[in-house]
Structure 1
Amino acid sequence: MDSRNRHIVPKIDLKNGIEFGIYTLADHLPNPYTKERISAGQRIKDIIEMGRYAEQAGFDIFQVGESHQDYFVGQAHTVILSALAQATKTIKLSSGSTIISTSDPVRVFEDAATIDLISDGRMELVAGRASRVGLYDLLGYNLDDYEALFEEKFKLLLEINENEYVNWQGEYRAPLKNAHVIPRPDNEQKGLPIWRAVGGALASAYKAGQEGVPMYLAHLGGPAEAFKSRVDVYREAAVQAGHDVKNLPIATAGFLFAHENMIEAYKQYYPHINEGHMKTNGSGFPKAAFNEGKDRRSVLNVGDPKLIVEKILYQHELFNNSRYIGQLDFGGVPLDDVKRNIDIIGEKILPEVKKHTRTKEEE
């Protein structure tokens, strides 16, 4: 395949094992135990502190998601990421994800490239569709165009990312005629690593592989084996399109919560997940499904350090992923508990995961 047609992918050095990070959806939910909710300003400050603390604990990446509904403060998620760019020094930063369907790709790139310059080259983008669709009315888009909007705008985002001057003709925005899109990241490619977010749809995984872009695979719960079909379809599509799958990283993302006692982890975390889902999705998280997470084959990475290490390594065997991103603050988890989790993960989980996922050349 012509190297000029390769998209920009993140540089992930597996000599020390897979990358390990945290993502937040920037939810703004009450603590189910106290029924109290901190202010929006404090929640944003806590997210910035969480990123700073994760960096100190040795995490590789921190992501902030975009949402435009009640019980969230991540509407302007790139603004939060910009604050994180100055509050941190080494940890990679990323959206998780940016809803490209209802955003202008030019503006998305301008914002992300600016954060990349502030952070000295640490910014990435994950482009997604939105699992909560109220933002289509809020931002003036037709939900009937859900798929078409994403596909067109994602392609335009890639075009902008790889070309400083852009000519573009599409259906959902005015044409671009030799448009000069700046600023540019200060790297050889003058662009950013851009991932395609994939949920339950096999078709989305297939398109990510055909396009030859990194895949960001998000999951809430269930057996890890159920998600392997997305990975297989992605890699098969990439091969069919002539891409080198060895150079196409996969990231997996899902719930993460650690406690020294496995039963206590499930007992403490369930009210956060259940009541958080009740408020944001309209229905709770089934307790039986949550308890199935105690099986090492589940993607629900909740438990004591030993169990969580077993789960993440099992998932790595299935997916051969290059990055794992955990969400541990959903549902009003107080900052002190988040920090305790980061401490446990940094001291007892991260080193084991790194040790057992190093590339063979380094064994």
Structure 2
Amino acid sequence: MELGIGMFGDLAFDRETGKYRDAGVKIHEILEQVKLMDEVGIDVFAMGEHHRPDYAISSPEILLAAAASITKNIKLASGVTVLSSSEPVKVYEDFSTLDLISNGRAEIFVGRGSFIESFPLYGYSLDDYEKLFEEKLELLLKINSEENVTWSGQLRAPMNNQTVYPRAKNAGKLPIWRAVGGTPQSVLNAAQLGMPLVVAIIGGMPIQFKSLIEFYKQEYKNAGHDIANMQIAVHSHTFVSHDQKVIDGYFHSYKSQMDRIGSSRGWAPYTKMQYESGRGKDGALFIGNPSEVADKIASIKDLFGITRFIGHMDVGDPTHDIMMESIRLLGEEVKPVIQAL
């Protein structure tokens, strides 16, 4: 099982100045953190896309290209590319270029995204929310499998025997994963297309997703795809420290970001009880000391049969030194336990 780290580039809010932390500083910190991930043996780094003042990264492919130049082995993925408001030709071109820069380490996680800021920003109508994704995924997969593309849809101009370059290293094909929250239709579509699946589990109890993942496995098989090629990943909020004071203190950073998001979605303020419940044996927060985190990841592997776990590690923008230590512990202390199992 591969062990990865995901980030959104969260920016802490300073109540005294009324400003978010400097995005440039954050970007340089992320690059240092990815370099450390590579050094301690983390298998995958996934960078998210947002278009808000509380996140530093709107173009994951550019950040990943910078990371490619200072790493050697770690796979570099978007987490996620909001495909509905993106141009599939440009997505393929950007990531195939990243693939060449990184010598074959690029991946794309595609999803609808849980934020909608990119739609009005890029001139798309939310009335076309579902159709945009369906059409653009169809086109991206076709570009990924064919050098000369002929395609037509309803919301984009057709392509007629047009070429898309440069081609990625593996016969022009990039690994394209389908990232989902908990919608059965999305899982069904991924299974029918034979796409690797990334399931975001950021609340409640992971056991609640058991039937959804079993549904994917069954429909993947029913569609005639080779089970040997099936890949399933879980993406969950994660943080590692030996210091209980750091774990307790992280609640405040975590709460600040959850409350910022929740204020626009009608969520109640995040509580310490939720935090501790999530950290518990059956909860969806992989936050604790290396032994606790390793045990929970192992239990998730047994529960779902996953091939990859991605710990989302920068919720609320923890300080750089704390992030570096958490990354080091995940690679040097958690990963060996998972490998041994």
Q: What does the per-residue CA deviation read over 1:23-47, in whole Å, with 9 as the maximum and x for residues that have no partner?
A: 1112222379999853111111111
Of the candidates 223, 238, 252, which is equivalent to residue 241 of structure 1?
Answer: 223
Matches within 5 A, 1:7-86: 18-30=1-13, 37-86=20-69
Contact 1:124–1:192 (CA under 8 A) maintained in structure 2? yes
Of the candidates 87, 90, 94, which is equivalent to residue 107 of structure 1?
Answer: 90
Give the structure 2 partner of residue 258 of structure 1: 240
Distance 1:31 1:51, change over 3 A: farther
Contact 2:20–2:53 (CA under 8 A) maintained in structure 1? no
Q: TM-score, normalised by structure 2?
A: 0.94
Contact 2:253–2:316 (CA under 8 A) maintained in structure 1? yes
Percent identity between the aligned chains?
37
| In structure 1, C-alpha distance between the alignment counterparts of 2:207 and 2:184, rounded to whole Å | 14
**1:138 CA displacement:** 1.4
Give the structure 2 partner of residue 280 of structure 1: 261
Distance 1:57 1:159, change over 3 A: same
Aligned AA (1:269): Y
Contact 2:294–2:334 (CA under 8 A) maintained in structure 1? yes
**1:240 CA displacement:** 1.4
Give the structure 2 partner of residue 349 of structure 1: 334
Give the structure 2 partner of residue 170 of structure 1: 153
Aligned residues: 337
Distance 1:167 1:206, change over 3 A: same
Contact 2:95–2:106 (CA under 8 A) maintained in structure 1? yes
| In structure 2, C-alpha distance between the alignment counterparts of 1:289 and 1:305, rounded to whole Å | 21
- Name the SS of the counterpart of 1:280 in structure 2: helix
Q: Does 1:329 align with 2:314?
A: yes
| In structure 2, C-alpha distance between the alignment counterparts of 1:31 and 1:251, rounded to whole Å | 35
Q: What does the per-residue CA deviation read over 1:156-183, in whole Å, with 9 as the maximum and x for residues that have no partner?
A: 1110000000000001110000010000
Of the candidates 35, 60, 72, which is equivalent to residue 89 of structure 1?
Answer: 72
Give the structure 1 partner of residue 113 of structure 2: 130
Contact 2:108–2:175 (CA under 8 A) maintained in structure 1? yes
**1:287 CA displacement:** 2.9
Q: What does the per-residue CA deviation read over 1:206-233, in whole Å, with 9 as the maximum and x for residues that have no partner?
A: 1111111000111112211011122111
**1:76 CA displacement:** 1.4
Q: Does 1:181 align with 2:167?
A: no
Q: Does 1:317 align with 2:302?
A: yes
- Name the SS of the counterpart of 1:87 in structure 2: coil
Comparing 332-341 and 31-40, the one that deviates more: 31-40
**1:306 CA displacement:** 1.5
Give the structure 1 partner of residue 137 of structure 2: 154
Comparing 121-130 and 82-91, the one that deviates more: 82-91
| In structure 1, C-alpha distance between the alignment counterparts of 2:246 and 2:134, rounded to whole Å | 40
**Where in structure 1 are there 5+ consecutive unaligned residues?**
1-17, 357-363
Give the structure 2 partner of residue 308 of structure 1: 293
**Where in structure 2 are there 5+ consecutive unaligned residues?**
none
* RMSD across aligned positions (CA): 1.8
Give the structure 1 partner of residue 206 of structure 2: 224
- Structure 1 stretches (4+) deviating beyond 4 angstroms? 31-37
Contact 1:216–1:253 (CA under 8 A) maintained in structure 2? yes
**1:265 CA displacement:** 5.0
**1:137 CA displacement:** 1.3
| In structure 1, C-alpha distance between the alignment counterparts of 2:185 and 2:249, rounded to whole Å | 36
Of the candidates 185, 190, 195, which is equivalent to residue 213 of structure 1?
Answer: 195
Q: Does 1:293 align with 2:278?
A: yes
Contact 1:223–1:299 (CA under 8 A) maintained in structure 2? yes
- Name the SS of the counterpart of 1:326 in structure 2: strand
**1:294 CA displacement:** 3.2
Aligned AA (2:335): L
Give the structure 2 partner of residue 359 of structure 1: none
Contact 2:20–2:54 (CA under 8 A) maintained in structure 1? no
Of the candidates 106, 116, 119, which is equivalent to residue 99 of structure 2?
Answer: 116
| In structure 2, C-alpha distance between the alignment counterparts of 1:345 and 1:180, rounded to whole Å | 42
Q: TM-score, normalised by structure 1?
A: 0.89
